Chain A
Amino acid sequence: MNHIKTINKANLKKTAAKGGCGKCQASCQSACKTSCTVANQKCEREA
């Protein structure tokens, strides 16, 4: 492509079907706590 450079390959949609198992860390984002964006959490579901 000459005009658009796509950066990432993953598609969020695929993650929805098998996701939501809840094994990952809770993720408070407030100023007084763990404070990272949810979008950085590690997924802990076994493949």
Chain B
Amino acid sequence: MIHKYKLGGYNVLLDVNSGGVHLVDDLTYDLLDNVEPPFQKECPGEVVKKLSKSYKDDDIRECYEEIVSLYNDGILFSEDDYEKFALSAVASPVKAMCLHISHDCNLRCKYCFASTGDFGQGRKLMDFETGKRAIDFLIEKSADRYFLELDFFGGEPSMNFDAVKQIVEYARSQEGPHNKKFRFTITTNGIHLTDDMIDFINKEMYNVVLSIDGRKEVNDRMRVRADGSGSYDTITKNFKRLVDKRPKDRDWYVRGTYTKYNLDFSNDVMHLYDLGFDQISVEPVMADASEPYAITEAELPAIFSEYEVLSQKIAKIRKEGKFINFFHFMLDLDQGPCAIKRLRGCGCGNEYVAVTPDGDIYPCHQFVGIKDYKMGNLYEGTFDLDMKNDFAHAHVYTKPECKKCWAKFYCSGGCNANNYMYAGDIHNAHKLSCQIQKKRLECAILMKAVELMDTAE
């Protein structure tokens, strides 16, 4: 399978199964519409004839030979022989957990997927006992995995910060005896961050996710307090304090959501950059099409061109020798994860679970509150291994659209939760997400290709 596209004055050619990326001239681009394996020794006469209106015959023949040589090298039209690996997918140890430390929030963001914090289950904080049981559960189910990821999530985790501290302390005390290493992450809206919290986060958290949407008017339209007032002024101050004090070797990033209201979101990315935040993730809202802020098919053309604008803005900053990282354009064309990981994707419900304040276990934070997807409970000692197994088998090769999609090794089959909520089944690709994903990937692959070409020269 190949995928080719034109962008920013380049012709990009991707060989899906080998991951090979090529930049090609117009002739190659057009010739590939007319030839495919099995190849002959020379370019078929009728193809030469067909293209001879636009290109010289000798060039066409030479180009054909180049295509055949890449084919013989296994980096063009390479075979899809991954299915056997996919079929061997098995249930794995649990290595990551999302801890819903607070089903309560001090903001009322209008697009909140957690129903402004409580996941439709009533406002509630997790107590230490539940957190402790969650840690024990993770250690027990992690088998021989050394690194364990634990994400403090909400609602707003800072509303239950004492429990966060106690749970971190407990988890650390278990690292030695069980030969494990915890990597903690916390996500916060920044409304209430004391110096003490900031110091603790910077000391203990491997990563911290700071939620802000961008420009003040954009942020304050959606990210509001219960009284309707905006959060921008408070959170920018707090996030700056946190980032300034954060050790350089620790990860962090600001993350925002764009909606129908700010389809010019490249300006929000640049605004965050100008504020001094150079680790940025800004992503489309996922919402029911009936919501006024929802993104629908109608918005796609504007979104596509905005990603192009954004990639140009980022390329310009990098050309000046400055640093900026936009998460959805991050891509490793040369190393990156193995093909197996790529076809398995997020691992939710198999390697990753979420735990609520009541000790309920779900496949991931996005499934929390959906009855059919409750996997068990820490107090009842239940854990549905059949469901775990089903999730282990939800990968690119059991998702019909993904299997034939050129983006499968970058996208990894999308978000199971979105698939379930908006396409009816975890195996059904959510078309709207796919289209945005593919556009982002096209931009990212081109940016990376151009960078690699520039450094090679």
Contact = CB atoms under 8 A, between A and B. Distances in A.
Contact of B452 (A8, A11, A19, A24): A8
A30 B1 CA distance: 27
Given A16-B85, A16-B338, A19-B339, A38 B352 contact: no
Given A11-B18, A32-B365, A20 B333 contact: no
Contacts of A31: 257, 283-286
A11 to B, nearest CB: 5
Interface residues of B, number: 87
B75 interface: yes
B417 A4 contact: no
A19 B21 contact: no
Interface string A2-34: 111111111111011011101111111111111
Contacts of A25: 96, 147, 149, 183
Given A15-B338, A25-B149, A37-B410, A5 B20 contact: no
A13 B22 contact: no
A31 B213 CA distance: 12
B237 interface: no
A25 to B, nearest CB: 6
Nearest to A32: B113
Contacts of B410: 37-39
A28 B348 contact: yes
B337 A38 contact: yes
A3 B56 CA distance: 13
B92 A30 contact: no
A13 to B, nearest CB: 6
A42 B444 CA distance: 17
Given A8-B21, A23-B147, A3 B63 contact: yes
B23 A5 contact: yes
B441 A11 contact: no
Contact of B453 (A5, A10, A45): A5
B351 A30 contact: no
B2 interface: no
A35 to B, nearest CB: 5
Interface in B69-103: 69-70, 74-75, 78, 81-82, 85, 92-93, 95-96
Nearest to A27: B346
B54 interface: no
| A10, A23, A39, A40 pick with most chain B CB within 10 angstroms | A39
A43 B453 contact: no
